[in-house]
Amino acid sequence: MTASDLAYVPFVDVEEMMHLVLDIGLETCLADLTAYIEEDFRRWPLFDKTPRVASHSRDGVIELMPTSDGREYAFKYVNGHPANMKKGLQTVTAFGLLADVESGYPVLLSEMTILTALRTGATSALATRILARPGSQTLAMIGNGAQSEFQALALKTVCGVTALRLFDTDPEATRKCMANLADSGLAVTICNSAEEAVQGADIVTTCTADKQIATVLHDNMIGAGVHINAIGGDCPGKTELQSDILNRADVFVEYPPQTRIEGEIQQMAPDFPVTELWEVLSGAAEGRRDSRQITLFDGVGFAIEDFSALRWLRDQVVRLDRGQRLDMIADPDDPRDLFGMIERERHRRAAA
C-alpha cells in the first residue's frame, strides 16, 4: 500500500452503518461483536487503560475514550445529554477512529452512535453469558429507551433469553420497544412497575437515562440467583441500585478506576471489593459459584469495547469492500514540503 493510498481513510457514515447491519444481520452483528470483545478482554493486560476524559456541564457530559494494544490505537468521542430527547435529539451520539500505531495514520473513521448501541448490547451479553445461571431465559428490562432493543436481542442471541419483561416510567418508550421487537421471537410482557417486571426474571438489566442518584431497584426486589446488568451508570452522581443490593451481590466491573467514579460502586467505600470481568474470562478469578449467588455487572462502558467494535467494523469494511474513502491526510510528493503542496495548488488554480 502506497502513501497515497493511506491518505484516503475508509469512512462509515450512518446510512452505510445501517446498511451493513441489515446486510450482515443484526443478531449476527451482535454475536460477532461479542466474540471480538471477548477476544480483546482475554488480552486485557496488553492495552493502555485510562478512565475516559470527561467534560461535565449542567446539561450533560462530553467524553473521549482512548486505548491502544500497541499495534492499533482507537478513540471514541461520545456525549450524554438526557434532556436532548425533549428537543428531538439523541441522548447519546458518538463517532470514533481506528489508527495504525506504526505510522500513526488513521485506518477507519466511523459513526459510533449505532455502533456503540451494538457494542453495549454485546458487552452485556458477554457478562451475562459468563455470570448468569445456566438456563436463564427471562430478562427484565428496566428502562426501555434507545438501548433496550439492542440489549434484549444481544441476550437472546448470545445467552438464549426467550422472554422479556418491560418497564419504563414513560409508557410510550415501552410501547416503542415492544413494537420494535414484535418479530424478534421474544415473548414480550409489558409491566406496570419495576417490581412487577423483575418477578420471575433470571436476569435484570437497568438502563435508564436520568443523570441523578436514583433507586430503580430496591433490595427486596432481587431474589437469590439473579444476575443484574446495571448499565445506566456512566457519570458521577448517577446510580440506579439501592446500595444494599451491592452488599449482597458479587460485583464485576470493566475497569475499576473508571467504575468507582461512574458506576454503581461510586456509592460504596473506595475499597469495596470488585472483580474485573477480564479476570473471570482468563481464569484468574472466579465468576458464578452457585445457583443462589447474586451477580452484578456494573457496566459503564470502557474504551477497549469501542476498540473491539472499531476493529470488527474495519474487518467488515475490508471483507465486504464497503464505506467511502475520505481524503483526510495531506500527501505531498515530498513529505518535507507541505508548503510546496499548497503553492502547487495555487499555481494549478491560477492556470485553470
Would you please indicate which residues are annotated as catalytic (active-site) residues? 234
Bridge-based pairing of strands 227-230 and 203-206 is: parallel
Say how far apart CA 21 and CA 28 lie, in whole Å.
9
Distance of alpha carbon 108 from its chain centroid, rounded?
A: 18
Encode 148-173: b = buried (16+ Cβ within 10 Å), e = exposed.
bbbbbbbbbbbbebebbbbbbeeeeb
With CA atoms as reference, report the closest residue to 240 among 219, 269, 271, 270: 219
Bridge-based pairing of strands 72-80 and 61-68 is: antiparallel
Collect all residues with Cβ–Cβ distance below 8 Å to 348 and sequence separation of at least 6: none
Say how far apart CA 159 and CA 318 lie, in whole Å.
29
The position carrying cell 433470571 is 202
Say how far apart CA 235 and CA 26 lie, in whole Å.
29
> What is the helix, strand, coil percentage profile of the chain, to 5?
40, 25, 35
Q: Give strand ranges (E) for the chain.
A: 8-12, 53-56, 61-68, 72-80, 94-100, 106-111, 138-142, 163-167, 187-190, 203-206, 213-217, 227-230, 239-241, 250-253, 275-276, 295-298, 324-327
Complete DSSP assignment for 266-324: GGS-TT---EEHHHHHHTSS----STT--EEEE----HHHHHHHHHHHHHHHHHHT-SE
C-alpha grid cell, residue 222: 432481587
Largest CA distance in the chain: 80
Beta bridge partners of 10: 325
